[in-house]
Amino acid sequence: MGQRTIVVTDSLACLPPEIADQNNIKIVPLSFIIKDKVYRDWIDISPSEAYQLFLEDPENFQSSAPSPMDFVNAFREAGKGAESIFCVTVSDKLSTTYQAALLASEQVKTELPQISLEVFNSKTATATEGFVALAAAQAAADGKDFTRVKEAAQEVSQKVNLIAVLDTIRHVYRSGRIPKVASQVGSVLHVKPMLGISPESEGKVHFIGIIRSRQSGIERMLQMMKEKVGENPVHVAVMHAYATEEAKKLKETVASSFKCAEIWLSDFSPLMGYAIGTGALGLAFYGEK
As annotated, the residues of the chain forming the CATH 3.30.1180.10 domain(s) are 161-287
- How many Cβ atoms sit within 10 Å of the Cβ of residue 198? 19
**What's the CATH number for 5-30+66-157?**
3.40.50.10440
What whole-number distance in Å separates Cα of residue 239 and Cα of residue 31? 20
pLDDT higher than 70, residue 190: no
As annotated, the residues of the chain forming the CATH 3.40.50.10440 domain(s) are 5-30+66-157
Mean residue pLDDT of the chain comes to 90
**What's the CATH number for 161-287?**
3.30.1180.10
Average confidence (pLDDT) over 231-244: 96
What whole-number distance in Å separates Cα of residue 117 and Cα of residue 243? 38
For the entire predicted model, the pTM comes to 0.93
Query: Torsions phi, psi of 233, nearest 5?
Result: -60, 145
179-183, 237-241, 265-269: range with lowest mean pLDDT = 179-183
- How many Cβ atoms sit within 10 Å of the Cβ of residue 180? 12
**Closest by Cα among 168, 163, 144 to 154:** 144
pLDDT in tens, 4-32: 999 999 999 999 999 999 999 999 999 99
In three state form, how does the secondary structure of 92-103 look? Answer: CCCCCHHHHHHH
CA torsion, points 248, 253, 258, 260, in degrees to nearest 10?
A: 20
